[in-house]
Structure 1
Amino acid sequence: MQNLILTPFQLAYYLKSRRKSLNLTQKQAGELVGLLPKTISALESHPERCSLESFFKLVSALEIEMLLQPKPLPDEETEKDAW
């Protein structure tokens, strides 16, 4: 399932929800990739204040991947809506 994340708040919510769906505590998630529980907590509450390195470690621990793609052009959105 894909999730569109547009804000740091949405990212924080998704990370925490994913960790809980895997039945991992912050400590357990951190132990999987060498992060402290306080780092996991920070990523889940204020991801904009954390390092990219920590973010990618948590992504790995939560068995998710990040996909970057260009936004659709306005003409492409109109074509999709026509179908």
Structure 2
Amino acid sequence: MLIHSPNDLAQYYRDQRKQNGVSQTAIAEEISVRQDTVSKFELKPDNVRLETLFRLLAALDLELHVVPKGTPDPAAGNASQWAEPW
């Protein structure tokens, strides 16, 4: 997934957490932060500490990949070939 803003990242994170059926409290306990820290990240991620961000990501087995702008999204696979008419 291509992320363009802190809010995009927070939305993706929240969606993944809910999809996995994990509560904010469970995440908080796993990474030794308060539940409101998880909530604040999901609602207003602009002020999250970088260390906390990586701990939050690790709790859901998510990774952060930084690539040069314009690099094709590997998650998209060969989607462009399917957009061609028969």
Q: TM-score, normalised by structure 2?
A: 0.77
Deviations 1:29-59 (A, max 9, x none): 1111111100000110111111111111100
Q: Please give the alpha-carbon distance, in whole angstroms, between the structure 1 residues aligned to 2:70 and 2:18.
A: 32
Q: TM-score, normalised by structure 1?
A: 0.79
Q: How many residues align?
A: 72
Return 5+ residue gaps in structure 1 as ranges: 74-82
Return 5+ residue gaps in structure 2 as ranges: 72-80, 82-86
| Partner AA of 1:13 in structure 2 | Q
Q: Tell me the C-alpha RMSD between the 2 structures.
A: 1.5
Identity %: 32
Q: 2:64 aligns with which of 63, 66, 69?
A: 66
Which stretches of structure 1, 4 residues or longer, exceed 3 Å deviation after superposition?
A: none
Give how far 1:62 is off: 1.0
Say whether residues 1:20 and 2:15 are aligned partners: no
Bigger RCO of structures 1 and 2 (CA < 8 A, at least 6 apart): 2
Q: 1:31 aligns with which of 29, 32, 43?
A: 29
Say whether residues 1:42 and 2:43 are aligned partners: no
Q: 1:53 aligns with which of 24, 27, 51?
A: 51
Give how far 1:61 is off: 0.3
